[in-house]
């Protein structure tokens, strides 16, 4: 039961971060952006892949995921 609650709280926190950043982009800046979900997905997929194949620590996949999302945003900008 503890593992289920941990996963549930983890998902809630991840979606809350996505909602807050989307609120910042759409609410305050007034910019309608579909790329926001793409960058979120690329970062999540890259982080999960790196965590599964290269490392078990959080400190390796997190910067790699940020670099992958940032690199994609630079290519599209």
Same domain, yes or no: 51 and 67: yes
Tens of pLDDT, residue by residue over 27-46, are: 888 878 778 888 888 998 99
Same domain, yes or no: 51 and 74: yes
Same domain, yes or no: 45 and 22: no
Same domain, yes or no: 24 and 38: no
Residues 40, 42: Cα–Cα separation, whole Å:
6
Kindly calculate the radius of gyration of the chain based on its CA atoms and give it in whole angstroms.
14
What pTM does this model have? Answer: 0.70
3-state secondary structure 11-76: HHHHHHHHHHHHHHHHHHCCCCCCHHHHHHHHHHHHHHHHHHHCCCCCCCHHHHHHHHHHHHHHHH
pLDDT at 1 over 80: no
Same domain, yes or no: 26 and 39: no
Q: What is the pLDDT of residue 17?
A: 87
What residues make up the domain containing 10?
1-33
């Amino acid at each position: 039961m503890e593992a289920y609650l941990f996963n549930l709280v983890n998902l809630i926190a991840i979606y809350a971060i996505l909602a807050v950043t989307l609120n910042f982009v759409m609410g305050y800046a007034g910019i309608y952006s579909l790329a926001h979900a793409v960058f979120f997905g690329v970062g999540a997929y890259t982080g999960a892949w790196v965590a599964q194949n290269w490392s078990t620590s959080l400190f390796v996949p997190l910067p790699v995921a940020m670099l992958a999302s940032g690199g994609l945003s630079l290519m599209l900008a």
